[in-house]
Copies of this chain bind each other. A is one copy, B any other.
Amino acid sequence: MRLTLIAAQSLDGFITRHDTPGSDFASDADRAFFREALRSFDCCVMGANSYREARATIQKNLMPDRLRVVLTRKPDAFAGDAVSEKLEFADTPPAQLVAGLRQRSFKRCAILGGAQIHSLFLGAGLVDELWLTVEPLLFGKGTPLLAGRTSTKLTLISNQNLAPSTLLLKYRVDK
């Protein structure tokens, strides 16, 4: 199974504008790209905060061919939302979660944030690629792309415009 971290950030590396949760700053072009990109993944992982932010949209769009896993310290608190094979809640450590998904024959997993989840999977050496939308914005403050210190080297795979000033940069994570 290949893991791809997908995020949108300001040019200066923030995935939220100041203290405002969510990625409302992202362009229409990024939203369109993100919707389309997700089609090529058969599972995705997000944190509980990201789930809460997008809960209504996610519940409306549950699909038979895509498992969504929400990592949370309290999976029981979300028991009412769970739909087997479509929307699952877990507090499994990343490596173990990925091993389980591999065993269930999932092939492509998208890591969807937030910062804690990014750092958790990157720190465990589980992320193969990073697909980053860079919006033409500077925030100065906000939630950073990563929650913790790292020294990660990347190799640029592709560099394209989603819109005249919005870039989609795809990198391979060097291991």
Contacts and interface: CB of A to CB of B under 8 A. Distances in A.
A66 B87 CA distance: 61
Contact of A137 (B154, B159, B169): B154
A17 interface: yes
A113 interface: no
Interface residues on A, range: 35 or more
Interface string A54-79: 00000000000000000000000000
B141 A13 contact: no
B136 A119 contact: no
A140 B136 contact: no
Interface in A115-173: 119, 122, 130, 132, 134, 136-141, 144-156, 159, 161, 164-167, 169, 171
Given A122-B138, A136-B156, A149-B139, A13 B165 contact: no
A11 B13 contact: yes
A14 interface: yes
Most buried by B among A9, A122, A151, A167: A151
Given A11-B171, A12-B13, A138-B151, 12 more contacts: A9-B13, A11-B132, A11-B154, A136-B171, A137-B153, A137-B154, A138-B145, A138-B154, A139-B151, A156-B164, A159-B159, A159-B167
10 contacts: A10-B13, A11-B154, A122-B138, A134-B169, A137-B151, A138-B150, A155-B165, A156-B164, A156-B165, A165-B171
